[in-house]
Amino acid sequence: MKRPVFAANWKMNVGPTEARAYLKKFLPRFNRSTDRTVILIPPAISLTTVVDEIGSRRKDVLVGAQNIHTEEKGAFTGEMSAAMARDAGARAVLVGHSERRHVFGEPDAATTVKCRVAFANGLIPILCVGEKLEQREAGKTEETVLRQLRAGLAEVEPSQMAGILIAYEPVWAIGTGRNATPADAAQVHAVLRAEIATLSGSSRTAAAVPILYGGSVSDVNASALLAAENVDGLLVGGASLDPVKWSMIVST
């Protein structure tokens, strides 16, 4: 069995001072573990603080970036390149999160480049896919997530695909208190895994790729979601902002 992956997306929350206090509460509550992977994804301003607080003592807790630019460097005020994120200590990066797509207007084509440059700079891409409510109600869930998956993997070599993470996050369930049922998540995850097998040419590669569920995950429903077939972990937003609740979720 793959090790479950628990990723905490803090979004635009938790500055450096709060991040230090958070880790002082969280780390003692989460015993060192070799049977699961935990990734903390703070805002850019707190990235080095989280890296420094975790230090070399806790290799079981990785740090990720929330976003990277498609270019290596240049006149892009407010942006961060993949190389900068890696230099700051990030090991992973979110690509195509629903807020990047639907709030900031990031197109599928940007995820193509971001996954490629993430790999080129030693970062693990966490490619996010998911449908909006109107797409779900129109029966276009599979069409939507497959389009997004294909775009993100368009410039990823088949040999690299086993090193990516996929997160299915139905947009209608993010921050709404509504979440897909375990059966809903399992169904979409199965579709995604089958497509990864096709794109990589290997069912073994597809089986090795962790597919996470994200969307109103809490300490109450985490266990049921993780028990669903093809659900290999969780991408958590709001519930990860509480270090006590987060410690409960990652210990599920």
Residue 88's domain spans which residues?
Answer: 5-250
pLDDT of 56 strictly over 90: no
Confidence of residue 177 (pLDDT cuts 50, 70, 90): confident
**Burial of residue 191 (number of CB atoms within 10 Å: 0-12, 13-18, 19+):** middle
Which domain CATH number covers 190? 3.20.20.70
Q: What's the Rg (C-alpha) of the chain?
A: 17
Residue 131 makes CB contacts below 8 A (sequence gap 6+) with 140, 141, 144, 145, 170, 171, 172
pLDDT of 101 strictly over 60: yes
pLDDT of 179 strictly over 90: no
Domains held by the chain: number: 1
Percent of the residues in the chain that have a pLDDT greater than 70, as a whole number: 100
pLDDT reported for residue 120: 97
Average of per-residue pLDDT across 215-234? 95
CA distance 70 to 161: 19
Q: Find where tokens 């015993």 sit.
A: 31
pLDDT of 1 strictly over 60: no
C-alpha atoms less than 13 angstroms from C-alpha of 21 in its C-beta half-sphere: 7
H helical segments located in 88-125:
98-102, 108-120
Average of per-residue pLDDT across 204-227? 95
| Phi-psi label, residue 201: left if phi above 0, alpha if psi -120 to 50, beta otherwise | left
Helix axes 141-153, 108-120, angle to 10 degrees: 40
| Nearest in space to 236 (alpha carbons), one of 224, 244, 250 | 250
pLDDT digits (tens, 9 = 90+) for 13-46: 999 999 999 999 999 999 988 899 999 999 999 9
Q: Note whether 216 and 186 are within 8 A (CB).
A: no
Average of per-residue pLDDT across 165-172? 96
Average of per-residue pLDDT across 149-156? 98
> Which of the residues are catalytic?
97, 169
pLDDT reported for residue 174: 80
pLDDT reported for residue 33: 85
Check residue 61 and report its DSSP letter: E
pLDDT reported for residue 180: 84
Residue 218 makes CB contacts below 8 A (sequence gap 6+) with 239, 245, 249
